[in-house]
Structure 1
Amino acid sequence: MSVPYASALAEATPRSHWLDSEEAPGASPALAEDTTCDLAVVGGGFSGLWTALLAKERDPSSDVVLVEARTAGWAASGRNGGFVSSSLTHGIGNGAERWPQELAELERMGLDNLDEIEDTLRRYGIDCGFRRDGKLWAATEPHQVHEIRAMCDLAAAHGRRIDFLSQDEIRAEVDSPTFLAGAFDGEGYALTDPAKLVWGLREVCLRLGVRIYENTPVQSMREGSFSVLLDTPYGRIGARSVALATNVFPSLLRRLRLYTVPVYDYVLTTEPLTDGQLASVGWKGRQGMSDMGNQFHYYRLTDDQRILWGGYDAIYHYGNGLRDELDQRPETFAKLAEHFFTTFPQLAGVKFSHAWGGAIDTCTRFTAFYGKAMSGRVAYALGYTGLGVAASRFGAQVMLDLLSGEETARTRLEMVRSKPLPFPPEPVRYVGVELTRRSLDRSDRNGGRRDLWLRTLDRFGLGFDS
């Protein structure tokens, strides 16, 4: 049986476009002996690297060790779309539902965090294609036009500017026959090459004196008399404090494992477009984009004139399935290719160069949560739900605040002090996630109307977000 668009996918490399680069640094040696430190950071993605870097900036004399089970950025940090959002709440709508009294402050803190990221990249000379070109949203169904207007109004009510765009205005920015209206956020979004950002942060950490050990999985964590003990295959770390930045992977604190589930997201990139192909789309501003569906697509241009196209399917596997072979899902790649050519029929005949997937962690409130354990010696931040490129830096600050024991503007936030509801155990978890995905799909096909299941989840502040 032939698969639609199979020829466009036939030569796609099964690897992240970002990580498929000759610029990837060699791995640091694994830990091969027992050691001690002031702060041990577990995890070498954005969360861990920001934590290590900020810890050294706070106290250059501190001894910081970072351990990573494989190599820095190999997982979600090197596989995402490179959207750098100022939002700390997974979008202004989610923030308004959960923390309406704090939303203006959270929006301000998010913009400050984005400014501070840009400043850090400039100060340390990190070249990662960081561009503050903003983001466009596209309404592709009539009911989404009203949703976009509501988003713009909500932003204005909380001190943020998101501009509504008519059909002609959005098609003048990026041309698709599917676009009915749009919105543009010019201050709260940047784009980056996420792998180069990871590698740049890693190099800065090394420059500042962070000891990085890669290919060093932490097998267990326990509280000692005067330190937290981390066991790895060839050495033990005794740390005065520990920051857990493992996100989608099973937490070393077992009580956290019911709070997140791994969800697989999938991405395509095209071959480099010719000048004529790019002109047919009219994407001169290079803004990031997404549509407004519950199951949405996100897309952007890369520096070498490819279109990155991802999202829509968000796949949960029974029992918190988390395996390398799940990174490839041909049926999702075929679906994404079909949706791509529906959106941009003028690009018929374009081939895809890369097709990949990977797991992100999500929680029932769709945005990160934070806390302490082991007599305040361990801090954690997890649950970013795919919007962690910038928010992970804020989470790193929160973890360091918590470990310091000092109250700050961040730790006073209700968002930081509260926790999401845990997911139920299996098999109820799997059934609930599948029911929710099917209901979201029906909502997208039924004018945005939410069925009884979704309304019930809304009532209890639960759900599932692609």
Structure 2
Amino acid sequence: MASVAPFHERRVDAPSTVWLPFPLDEAAPAPAGDITCEVVIVGGGLTGLSTALHLKMVEPRLDVVLLEAGRIGYGASGLNSGQCAPRIGPAIERQVRSLGPDFAHAAYAYSLDAVELTASLVNTCAIDCDMHAAGQWQVALRDVDAVALERRAAIYRALGFDVPLLGADAIRASLPDSRRICNAIAFPARLLNPGRLCIGLKRAALERGVRIFENTRVSRFARDTGTLHVRAGSINASRVVFAVDGGIGGIGGLGGFRRAVLPVAAFAAVTRPLSAVERDVIGWRQGQGLYDARPMFNFLRPLADGRLLIGGGYRYARDEKVDLDLHARSAPDLPGQLPLFFPSLRPITADAVWHGLLGCTLNEWPIVKALDAGRRFWHVGAWNGHGVALAVAAGRDLAHAMAGHTAIPSVPWACPRATGLPRAVVRTVLPLYLGWLRHSSQITI
């Protein structure tokens, strides 16, 4: 689901987050001078870590360097909702309508495989990230959304996938206090601690010989030579992978990404621990994640300590930054959404709130492509909120293709490309569009 990074955790020496309340490892030191390597990966999120790890799995002698601007586990990949679920791109009905049923089938099948790959990698690398199968429900709170979910479930069935439609009785059996939820469709999914997943992948990559440098921000990229410039010097590599969205427009030589990957702020909050009475009233024994059919309030899930996580309320982030006023207005409002799902939780308060950036595209498909004819330089990202499993799978596929072991699969590498817009247009149109979505998503209690 939506990736978020913290507002109040900007220090890189000793960060603390909802998912990682205390550091689990030491920061890898920044480089002390110039470096030469065969492959350099910019970005220590799930995509970058998976690419680096799988490169060493298939080519152990390959010299791989990974650069992370902050601390691994404390950026967007480590601060999402922790719902490792299938789906990629726009809604399945739009895929069928615009690209045909075969492509839509391939896209969803790829995302299902990505979830299983992530679970397998967690087991193979012995990563302690609290992963468990719990499922994910996309729920409708309005009649118009309930009709849309009925149609959506029918399309999945027609494509041959088991994505059942749950009626009100089935929902009440699991969530007794959910009388506002009209219906839901149930996806197979796993829940996990995304921060611990990132730290576990970092450990596995280090054990296989990946050279990792944290607190190392790239300031400029020379495409003619493949040289990356950092504070301590330069990184010279035969091949470069940009596995990053936030801040990519600030890298000299890559400003064009600002036209295609749009910085959108996502907000999240964690409630105070629920009392035993509150937990009994709402039920939620299966612990499944909930994914709202409305566009602006997207995800909820219970945590092991009795708190609830809710996120959404997206806003355009000018210049890839979220100012203090926007944070103060947006994040604390999220707990106010909970009574729409569970009326008994009306007085609930937030224990912690945070925000960060999603890499989004106008057509909702990710951008995963070579930047040159020789396939020396790659950009992988813009998962539009579906990134936990897909980022891991894309890293594997890119690594295998770079090593010459397998061809790049059609999905998501051949997905339709989002049209870039001039920055001035984005500044004007996108805030208006997101504001319209917020207005159209409102429900009067």
Alignment TM-score, normalising by the size of structure 1: 0.85
Give 1:389's aligned residue.
388
Q: Distance in 1 between matches of 2:202 and 2:120?
A: 17
**Secondary structure, aligned partner of 1:262:** strand
Distance apart, 1:308 and its partner CA: 0.3
2:54–2:400: 8 Å Cα contact kept in structure 1? no
User: 1:295 offset after TM fit, Å?
Assistant: 2.0
CA gap of 1:286–1:91, structure 2 versus 1, over 3 A, is farther
Alignment-derived partner of residue 3 in structure 2: none
Q: How many percent identity over aligned positions? A: 25
Match of 1:146?
147
The residue correspondences of 1:13-412 to structure 2 (distance < 5 A) are: 14=8, 17-100=17-100, 101-174=102-175, 175-185=177-187, 187=188, 189-223=189-223, 228-251=226-249, 252=251, 253-311=254-312, 313-317=313-317, 320-323=318-321, 325=323, 329-374=327-372, 375-400=374-399, 403-404=402-403, 408=407, 410=409, 412=410
Deviation at 1:104, TM superposition (A): 1.5
Query: Counterpart of 1:329 in 2: which secondary structure?
Result: helix
Does structure 1 conserve the Cα–Cα contact (< 8 Å) formed by 2:67 and 2:217? yes
- Between the aligned partners of 1:99 and 1:440, the Cα distance in structure 2 is 25
Q: Tell me: CA distance 1:389–1:90, structure 2 relative to 1, closer, same or farther (3 Å).
A: farther
- Tell me the amino acid that sits aligned with residue 390 of structure 1: A
1: CA distance between counterparts of 2:288 and 2:348? 21
1:417 equivalent among 414, 417, 426: 414
Q: Is the 8 A contact 1:65 1:212 kept in 2?
A: yes
Q: What is the aligned length?
A: 427
Query: Post-superposition shift, 1:265?
Result: 0.6
From 412, 420, 429, the equivalent of 1:432 is: 429
Shift of 1:29: 0.4
Give distance in 2, aligned partners of 1:82 and 1:97: 30
Post-superposition CA distance 1:90-147 (Å, at most 9, x none): 5534533443231212222222221111111111110101112111122111111111
Q: CA deviation at 1:19?
A: 4.4
Q: Secondary structure at the match of 1:254?
A: coil
Q: Which moved more, 1:128-137 or 1:166-175?
A: 166-175
Shift of 1:245: 0.7
Per-residue deviation, 1:347: 2.6
Any idea what the Cα deviations from partners look like across 1:248-276, whole Å, max 9, x if unmatched?
32244333221011000111111222332
CA contact (8 A) 1:42 1:243 kept: yes
The letter for the 1-side match of 2:45 is: G
Question: How far off is 1:88 after superposition?
Answer: 3.0
In 2, Cα distance between equivalents of 1:83 and 1:90: 18
The 8 Å contact of residues 270 and 352 in structure 1, kept in 2 or not, is answered as yes
2:134 is paired with a residue of what secondary structure?
Answer: coil
Change (3 A) 1:285 1:325: same
8 Å contact from structure 1 (residues 370, 398) kept in 2: no
Maintained 8 Å contact 2:128/2:196: yes
Q: Is the 8 A contact 1:364 1:422 kept in 2?
A: yes
Provide the secondary structure at the position in 2 that maps to 1:390: helix
Range with bigger deviation, 327-336 or 51-60: 327-336
Return the offset for 1:211.
0.6
Q: Which residue is equivalent to 2:12?
A: none
Secondary structure of 2:391's match?
A: helix
Give 3-state SS (helix, strand or coil) of 1:337's partner. Answer: helix
Does the 8 A contact of 1:79 with 1:357 survive in 2?
Answer: no
The code of the aligned residue for 1:126 comes to I
Match of 1:5 in 2: none
CA distance in 1, matches of 2:156, 2:288: 19
- Checking the alignment, whether the CA contact within 8 Å between 1:129 and 1:303 is kept in structure 2 is no
Query: Are 1:40 and 1:64, in contact at CA under 8 Å, matched by a contact in 2?
Result: yes
SS of 2:268's partner is strand
User: TM-score of the superposition, structure 2-length normalised?
Assistant: 0.89
Residues in 2 aligned to 1:85 and 1:93: alpha-carbon distance in whole angstroms: 18
Mean Cα displacement is larger for which, 68-77 or 245-254? 245-254
How far 1:181 moved relative to its partner?
A: 1.7
